[in-house]
Structure formats: structure tokens, C-alpha cells
Amino acid sequence: MKLLVTGGAGFIGSNFIHYIMGKYSDYEIINLDKLTYAGNLENLSTIESGIGKGRYRFIKGDIADTRCIDGILSTDIDAVINFAAESHVDRSIDNARIFLETNVVGTQVLLDAALRHKVGRFVQISTDEVYGSLGPAGLFTESTPIAPNSPYSASKAGADMLVHAYFETFGLPVITTRCSNNYGPYQFPEKLIPLFITNALADKPLPLYGDGLNIRDWIYVEDHCSGIDAVLHRGRPGHVYNIGGNCEKTNTEITRTILDELAKPQTLIHYVKDRPGHDRRYAIDCTRICTELGWSQRYDFATGMKKTIAWYLANKPWWQRIKNGEYLDFYKRWYSDRQ
């Protein structure tokens, strides 16, 4: 099978490429990434020369570039997995336009090209944030109405609706996944868990929004990747599949877990003004993917967090280069080697 993975140099996309290359010895992957601030080719440095040698290729490009997408999909691509997205809520509050350009227009360009080239399967990677905020009880199901509360989640909801429309209007074999909060290796250190791990290691304050009691459902990134794998191969076109970790934690609980694991004092917690439109609670019902596709998670939260913290401890140069703004040097070296 030949896959186009968009946004494959980012956190979840790069983990997915590692997962697929390790599981399927005969699969080929083209990784298309614009290499914006959170795209890092260093995440995949071992793939190109290791298990993916001869089966993996990187192309720098934009999913909103019709000519680029047509050129790739004309090479007999079997499936598109669209991870490419602007994804940070705070950044979407500061500048919503780039979120619309990538997340909505970019998805539309991909869909049109997939239709023209008769791609056999299109998997849209979405988020549970499109559902909005839950009260103190209940779970998001695939039939929960979409009610996004931030520019980021609104852009993802718009993309989801386009994907659905292309199934209903054109019969394009699309499937959407909506996952809860991911954590694990290669996550850009602006997000809560890697930010707090790296700040704690440097004895810097951990900025906790509001009262710290916002609740998220957490899943280790490898479990998310295995869920996408199941959807790619066995999911029903036109359907949505929620992927969750069945692990609700307040942000305060996450913060204290990190500090305890690193033997750092609780005094590093620094409460800051809450961000606008901050959803109170997310929680996923993933019954459909479990019963229909036989998926189950492998890692509980305690195990996943230990693995995550161990990875950041073992890979200090990776995140230090990012925090120092030096990670783009890796791409420059990579590119110059190929000229």
C-alpha cells in the first residue's frame, strides 16, 4: 500500500509514520509537510536511513497547493491520511486566518485532488474539540452535535463538514477520526505536558490556566496511531470514529503527576489568567471503534506518562534545540545534503 501522510513531520504524524513503517514492511509513505514552526524532520531522522529506507520519501509542500497535491496523487496513492493542521488554540486566538487557510482550504484542496485521482481511502484526522465543552457528566459520542468554541476547533469542524459533504455529494470514501488529548514523544513543547516537563527540568514555573480544574481525556500517542491504523484498514467510509483513552484528568492532576515523577516541588505551579473560550471538560466514548474494529489501547496513563517523561529525559538535545530556536538547522542540513 502506498500512503500520502500530510503533516507527517509534526507530533502525531511522525509517530504514525514510525508506527506504520515498523508494522508493515511492504508499505510506502510519502510525507508531505510545509515545515511550519512545529514541523521537525528530526522526528523522522531514523526512518529515512533505517526501517523506511527505500519506502519513505519526504516532500516539502503545502496541502493548499493544488499543483503540488495533484503531482503527488498522480503517482498511484492508495490512501491519504491528513494530519496537516494548525493546531494550537492560543495561536488561533491570536491569528485565526492561517488556521482557516490550512485546516479548511487545505482540506478542500486535498479532497478535490483525491476525487480527481480516485484515491481509495481518505482519512481525516480531527479532534474532540469540535464537540465543544461537556458538563460534569456525559461523554462525546460520534452523534454529539458539533459546537466548537475556539477558532482552532471551528476550523477543524469546518474541515470535518467538508469531508462529510464530499462523501454525501461525490461518494468519496472518507473517514474521520476524532481523538482526545495526545501525549508522548516528539510533541512540540508549547503543549501542556511537554511544556511542563521541560519547564520543570529547568526549575521554571509551570503556567496553569485558571483554577487548573479543566478536564481532558488523555491517550498515549502510540495508541492513537494504532486506532488510525484500524480505521485506515477496516473503517466504514462516511463514518466518524472517536478515539479516546478513557482517562479523564484535570490539568492540576497532570501537573502534579509531572512534578512528582521528576521529584520537583509543587511550588513550581504558577496559576495564570485563563484563556478565552477555554472548554471545561472533554471526555470520549470510543465504543464504536472498539466494537466495530476491535481496537483497544495498550498503555494506561501511568505507563504512558512514565514512557513520555523518560523520552524527554533521554532526548534533551531535541527539545532544547526547539526551545532555543535551533531545530530548523536540521532541515537546512538535510536539504543541503540533497542538492
So which residues are the catalytic ones? 128-129, 152
Q: How far apart are CA 217 and CA 87, in angstroms?
A: 17
Hey, which residues does 243 pair with through a beta bridge? 179
User: For 232, phi and psi rounded to 5 degrees?
Assistant: -55, -40
CA distance 99 to 151: 8
314: burial class by Cβ within 10 Å (0-12, 13-18, 19+)?
exposed
Name the CA dihedral angle for 215, 221, 225, 231, rounded to a multiple of 10 degrees. Answer: 0
* Number of Cα atoms under 13 Å in the Cβ half of residue 133: 11
Site of grid cell 494504532: 226
Give the single-character DSSP code of 284.
B
90 within 8 A of 275, measured Cβ to Cβ: yes
Q: Are 235 and 171 in contact (CB under 8 A)?
A: no
CB atoms within 10 A of CB 129: 25
CA angle at residue 146 from 248 to 34, to 5 degrees?
Answer: 85
Contact 299, 220 (CB under 8 A): yes
- CA pair distance 183, 186, nearest whole angstrom: 9
